[in-house]
Amino acid sequence: MNDIDFYLVVHYPAAINDFREIIMKNFAIPARKFLAALGGLWILGFPALAQEVNLYSARHYESDKTLYALFEKETGIKVNVVSANAPELIERIKREGEATNADLFLTVDGGVLHTARNAGILQPVSSPAILQNVPAALRDRENHWIGITTRARVIVYSRARVRPDALSTYEDLASPKWKGKLVARPSSGLYDQSLLASLIALNGEEKARMWVKGVVANFARPPKGNDRSQAKDIAAGLADVALMNTYYIGQMLNSKDPEEVKAAQEVGLFFPNQKTTGAHQNISGVALTKHARNRENAIRFIEFLTSVPAQERLSADNYEFPTNPKARKHPLLERWGTFRTQDIDFSELSKHNATAIRLFAEGGWK
């Protein structure tokens, strides 16, 4: 290594990965010897190379930031995070190609994860620890992505005005008995798009179309707000039922906002379709990018996220279901008990997404 090489390493750490690749391709130096030699730069008065992993994330939870800090503390590997929505990140990774800094892609929704795989920006993970931590049903068939948490989309209802035995299925929400009693968020939200995609996969397009029309006919007001807004409107007496993701109930019950706590206390949670096709389950997952430069660090990060301590932290802080079956769930989730989930591949959510968006538009679910 000449003086110019040393200068690049010390003053331009961003060039380290490119420098490493050049050395590995042109000289017969085993990786461990090369890295050991670089670590020895301390002896010559040069700083050791920083360990890092670059994460492109579409998740926006504080619980994730806590885990990144724990990973950094345990391993000394710096987690650099680029945040944006999933479609933007997928397009960015595609555009950057081999020059991308992304080592990992993290997002919610199984359909989005499948879209990323089809975009050709991911590579399979073969770590025995990861494959042991996460059951096959909660990862890509060829391990291009790995599930880290799940959530269910459930029916929430007014404890004061609705008996639980009056509830049954998603399909029943289109029944005239709920006319003027149902509120929903706009159809631009991915959560209901994926729910409808799952109903298309299970029941067919025509039945799904009729379901949308029936639900729209039952709206107590035009769609607006997020999941929390639906619970607040039920508590305010504007409606009796709505659709929500499970983790929002946990967040609201433990919120610093008294209005959110009160609203969550006044609604009940019902897992639909327990005697038929099961509740709609969606997933958050992490994937190793095709051109990851910090591959070993990235795999270590996935191993960490799927480990029992990290899984229990995610459940405790964000009220999500762990994908590692050995991890304990938050006590609130334990009280909800076990429930049946839809038996469909997460790729179906991507396959039917465009149809779901069209059916929402045709049915007037704005």
The pLDDT of residue 238 is 97
Give the model's pLDDT for residue 112.
Answer: 98
> How many other C-beta atoms are found inside a 10 Å radius of the C-beta of residue 169?
16
Q: Is 143 within a domain? A: no
Same domain, 346 and 241: yes
Query: In this structure, is the dihedral angle defined by the CA atoms of residues 92, 289, 109 and 116, taken in order, positive or negative?
Result: positive
Residue 19 burial class via C-beta count within 10 angstroms: exposed 0-12, middle 13-18, buried 19 and up: middle
Would you state the pLDDT for residue 12? 38
Q: What is the DSSP letter of 330?
A: P
Give 121's strand partners.
Answer: none
Residues 100 and 80 occupy one common structural domain: yes
Total domains present in the chain:
3
CA distances from 256 to 223, 229, 248, 253 (A): 26, 16, 14, 9
Q: What is the pLDDT of residue 358?
A: 98
- pLDDT value of position 49: 53
pLDDT value, residue 213: 98
pTM value? 0.85
Domain limits for position 199? 151-280+342-363
Indicate the burial class of 196 (C-beta count within 10 angstroms; 0-12, 13-18, 19 or more): buried
Q: Would 210 be classed as within a structural domain? A: yes
Q: Which residues pair with 321 in a beta bridge?
A: 150
Statement to judge: residues 76 and 114 lie in one domain: yes
Same domain, 271 and 287: no
- In this structure, are residues 127 and 77 in contact, taking their beta carbons and an 8 Å threshold? no
Please name the residue that has the structure tokens 């919610």. Answer: 108
Domain assignment of residue 112, yes or no: yes
Residue 94's nearest CA partner among 284, 294, 290, 288 is: 290
Same domain, 30 and 63: no
User: Is the same domain home to 275 and 287?
Assistant: no
- Shared domain for 173 and 238, answered yes or no, is yes
Question: At 82, which CATH number?
Answer: 3.40.190.10
Co-location of 33 and 89 in the same domain = no
Instruction: Please list the pLDDT of the chain residue by residue as tens digits (366 residues).
Output: 444 343 333 333 344 444 444 444 444 444 434 444 444 333 333 344 579 999 999 999 999 999 999 999 999 999 999 999 999 999 999 999 999 999 999 999 999 999 999 999 999 999 999 999 999 999 999 999 999 999 999 999 999 999 999 999 999 999 999 999 999 999 999 999 999 999 999 999 999 999 999 999 999 999 999 999 999 999 999 999 999 999 999 999 999 999 999 999 999 999 999 999 999 999 999 999 999 999 999 999 999 999 999 999 999 999 999 999 999 999 999 999 999 999 999 999 999 999 999 999 999 999
275 and 196, same domain (yes or no): yes
Q: Within this chain, do residues 346 and 200 fall inside the same structural domain, yes or no? A: yes
In a domain, 165, yes or no: yes
Distance separating alpha carbons of residues 278 and 272, to the nearest angstrom: 7
Is residue 359 located within the same domain as residue 269? yes
Q: Spell out the residues 6+ positions from residue 3 whose beta carbon is closer than 8 angstroms to its own.
A: none
- The H or E element that residue 232 is part of is helix 227-235
Place of tokens 């992490």: 286
Does residue 319 come out as left (phi exceeding 0), alpha (psi in the -120 to 50 range) or beta? Answer: left
Block residue for tokens 């769609």: 223
Do 318 and 266 fall into the same domain?
no
Which segments within 212-356 are labelled E, that is strand? 241-245, 267-270, 280-289, 321-322
